[in-house]
Amino acid sequence: MLGSLLRCTLPWSPESSIGGELGGRRWGRRGRLLGTAPRGRDRRGGRGASLGKLGGVLGVGGADVAHGRLLGDAEQPHQLEGVGTRVRAKSALYVADVFASVPRKDQRAKGDCYLRGLMLDGRRKSIQAMASRLPDGNEQNLQQFVNQSTWDPVPVQRRICERMLPLIAPTAWVIDDVSLPKDGRMSVGVAPQYCGALCKRANCQVAVSVHAAGDAASCPLQWRLFLPKEWAADTDRRTATRVPPEITHREKWRLALDMLDTLAGWGMSPPVVVADAAYGTNAHLRAGLAERGIDYVLAVRADVSAHPFDVRPVAPDRKGPVGCWPQPRYRQPAPSVAALAAELGREAFTSLTWRQGSRGELRSRFAAVRVRPAGKAVERPIRSAASAEQGWWDGILPDCWLLIEWPEDAEAPTDYWLSSLSADTSITDLVRLAKVRWRIEHDYRELKHGLGLDHFEGRSWPGWHHHVTLVTAAHAFLTEQRPAPKVLDHRVGERQALTLNVKCLFLPGWVASD
């Protein structure tokens, strides 16, 4: 599986297909030389197979592969052996560093084995499937390490963050959630709920995550498993899945704030937080970020209300000489952001490019205005805080940016964002940050389709968190192996591609333990 991400191209391209290419030759799934690789899409590849498998080059599972030899290619290039040795050495150092908090040597060895299983070829990344591919894989040992062992995943997660944040130099942290379809009702956190993977209500788990996103790379920093309300009082299922007593139902936006608090406790703070409308529409999340002094660029629904910037509240006259003066109020109800956008007109929108896509520039029309978000969820905490401090509130709501997207071919604006960034922030920066959320979707695609995030077959709370931590560790290692700058790939137009050295696909000794 190392080849899946070491040879991947961002965004996806026909060049990154099953088997991979080296020196103009095409290699099959079992490591056989298929001949000269044609230009364009591999007939067995395509977008669904763009995470080309390492087994397609190494032929994972055969005795020849266990000793670093390629099936059908007896003369392996000598220089590739050196590359493989270096990457294997990097892996050993990485495991020693990231799993330094795991107390026992045999547990660290199992962690190394599990990581190799995640990064090697195979459609399934369940423990049984991975153990069958690894010469040193023992299914019972791996089951015990993930599901029963008491090692703490939190220090491992912290060490991953400490390594990855300086490497990625993120421009933003992205909040989102991912759904993991499940059968039955005894896996921890499973319930009938909206499943994004299936685009419908289905039986699934939902995990909320925070990712660091930079211009060239991204990675998950924190995870929280969402526990539906029905699990809060279900003693039998909680006991069976070993859910800690202190874990209760918490809304997803609260889980997001909890993760930010955890990271802050580790001395890590985001440059800005980005999220989609499922989170940004929630005024409580926006208030929580503001209380923590965290800037944000959050997508919101079209029906979110806001007052124009220059509208001010008016204090009604007091009726009679007795009693308190009434609080100032806005005379008119706050319009929706869609109504505010419609008032601007097409001439207020500017055409901007935010990045290079696989098919050229990604470009659309945008406008940005200052507004004052309204609503009871916004006003109540502000009024309470002001009344507690000074006994009076002037009624003026805080202002922020409203960013609006109106594509050239659309009849009306399509997307809206609220941002707490300073008033001198350029619209170009607002657009660039608003559009960085695509990186978390890319991470989910790699984590699920390449590293088996959703292949865990255990049912327990500790087991799920162990598996997710190990998947995150595998993803972080592969991200470290990518070159820092983007490489211009001229084969697919003038796009920026993050292309990794194909030589790293050939890793003698990667499967066999040293």
**Number of neighbours of residue 85 by Cβ within 10 angstroms:** 16
Q: What is the pLDDT of residue 13?
A: 30
pLDDT at res. 122: 80
What does the pLDDT average to over 183-196?
94
Dist. CA 210–CA 226, nearest whole Å = 14
Question: Cα-atom radius of gyration of the chain, to the nearest Å?
Answer: 26
The DSSP code sequence of 423-484 is TT--HHHHHHHHGGGHHHHHHHHIIIIIT-GGG----SHHHHHHHHHHHHHHHHHHHHHS-S
Q: Rounded mean pLDDT of the chain?
A: 79
In terms of pLDDT, which residue wins out, 22 or 312?
A: 312
Determine the 3-state secondary structure of 300 from DSSP: strand
Q: Please tell me the predicted confidence (pLDDT) of residue 228.
A: 96
pLDDT of 390 higher than 90 = no
Residue 381 has pLDDT above 60, yes or no: yes
For residue 382, the model assigns a pLDDT of: 75
Eight-class DSSP state of 450: I
387 pLDDT more than 90: no
Give pLDDT, residue 293: 96
CA dist., res. 407 & res. 200, Å (int): 28
pLDDT, residue 508, reads 32
493 SS3 class = coil
Residue environment code for 264-301, b if the CB has 16+ CB neighbours within 10 A, otherwise e:
eeeebebebbbbbbbbbbbbebbbbbbeeebbbbbbbe
Q: Per-residue pLDDT averaged across 189-213, rounded?
A: 95
pLDDT in tens, 219-277: 999 999 999 999 999 999 999 999 999 999 999 999 999 999 999 999 999 999 999 99
| Least confidently predicted of 234-238, 442-446, 501-505 | 501-505
Whole-number Å distance between alpha carbons of 317 and 396: 18
The confidence score (pLDDT) of residue 259 equals 98
Asked if pLDDT for residue 492 goes beyond 80, the answer is no
pLDDT for 151-167, tens place per residue?
A: 999 999 999 999 999 99
Give the pLDDT band of residue 504 (cuts 50, 70, 90): very low
The mean pLDDT of 11-36, rounded to a whole number, is 34
Residue with tokens 């070829």: 121
- Cβ(442)–Cβ(410) below 8 Å: no
Instruction: Give the mean pLDDT of 162-187.
Output: 95
Query: For position 376, what pLDDT does the model report?
Result: 82
- The total of other beta-carbon atoms located within 10 Å of residue 443's CB is 25
Report whether pLDDT(330) > 50.
yes
Could you tell me what percent of the chain has a pLDDT over 70?
A: 73
pLDDT greater at residue 415 or residue 89: 415
Q: ∠273-274-279 over CA atoms, to 5°?
A: 105
| 131 vs 139: CA distance, rounded Å | 5
Question: Is pLDDT above 90 for 289?
Answer: yes
Q: Give the dihedral of Cα atoms 459, 460, 465, 469; nearest 10 deg.
A: -60
Backbone angles phi, psi at 495, to 5 degrees: -105, 155
Lowest mean pLDDT among 108-122, 309-323, 463-477: 309-323
Interval 162-189 mean pLDDT: 96
Specify the amino acid at residue 396: I
Place of tokens 């901007």: 352
Q: Per residue in 21-56, is it b (16+ CB within 10 Å) or e — as a string?
A: bbeeebbbbbbbeeeebeeeebeebeeebbbbbbbb
Using the predicted structure, report yes or no on whether residue 458 has a pLDDT greater than 70. Answer: yes
